[in-house]
Amino acid sequence: VESVIVAIDGPSGTGKSSTSKAVASALGLSYLDTGAQYRAITWWMLSNGIDTADPLAIASAAGKPVIESGTDPAAPAITVDGVDASGPIRTQEVTSKVSAVSAVPEVREVITGLQRSIAAAAARGIVVEGRDIGTTVLPDADLKIFLTASPEARAARRSGEIKGSDVAATRAALVARDAADSGRKTSPLAKADDAVEVDTTELTLQQVVERVVALVEERR
């Protein structure tokens, strides 16, 4: 069987990560969480005293951190300068600053380069999840999926993941982050023309996974 590249894009809280990992596991493919890479570079900026409101400062530091991503869907790992970053990249502080950092073109250039080389090295194929994978990073992907869900469903899922969080506040933060990601100049969050849109509002994770796996099987 030839190697297959699957791009899964969409806003936060649509089930992208859970779906992407499960699809990769079911098909024996590698997995890449590109949001984790943008979070990792943001964490490095915050840890190194770079002002995340200053795009010029971010641009000149963009090439400094060494970010490495594991591609095992059962144990996705991420390190920055050799240090495990999987915990620190999920903090509220990183989440609130990541859109500003990821909007800087120099950051996207560095991270997009990493993503393309990881995808090229995946012998059996890979599931890559993000915001601009189908449009910009891997425009020749064999299958492009765009996941959506109502803001209510997305906020409920996200606050279920974060202990002690409030659904209304989660919803407001989520909507603001999506607006920033969709409104930026360089490779905004967008559905590729040839992507299959799946609305997950009324579907279970298992149903979404089955649908995507069936679409991959059709294409290879």
Residue 18 CB, shortest distance to ligand C5P, in Å, is: 12
| Dihedral pair phi/psi, residue 149, rounded to 5° | -170, 160
Please, which of residues 42-101 interact with ligand C5P by CB under 6 A?
98-99
Binding mask 103-142 for ligand C5P (x = CB under 6 A): ---------------------------xxxx---------
**Count of residues that interact with ligand C5P, criterion CB under 6 A:** 14
User: Is 42 annotated as contributing to ligand binding?
Assistant: no
Pair of tokens at residue 220: 């290879």
| Helix ranges restricted to H, the chain | 16-27, 34-47, 55-61, 92-102, 105-121, 151-161, 167-183, 205-219
Closest CA to 38 of 90, 76, 73: 90
Report if residue 20 touches ligand C5P, rule: CB under 6 A.
no
Closest CA to 47 of 115, 94, 105: 94
User: Is 69 annotated as contributing to ligand binding?
Assistant: no
Element (H, E) at 146: strand 143-148
Query: Is the Cβ of residue 15 or residue 125 nearer to ligand C5P in the bound state?
Result: 15
CA distance 68 to 74: 17
Closest CA to 200 of 148, 151, 154: 148
69, 102, 159, 200: which one contacts ligand C5P (CB under 6 A)?
102
User: Is 150 annotated as contributing to ligand binding?
Assistant: no
Query: Is the Cβ of residue 28 or residue 139 nearer to ligand C5P in the bound state?
Result: 139
Query: Is the Cβ of residue 62 or residue 98 nearer to ligand C5P in the bound state?
Result: 98
How long a stretch of residues is the chain? 220
Please, which of residues 174-193 interact with ligand C5P by CB under 6 A?
177, 181
Given the rule CB under 6 A, which residues bind ligand C5P? 12, 34-35, 38-39, 98-99, 102, 130-133, 177, 181
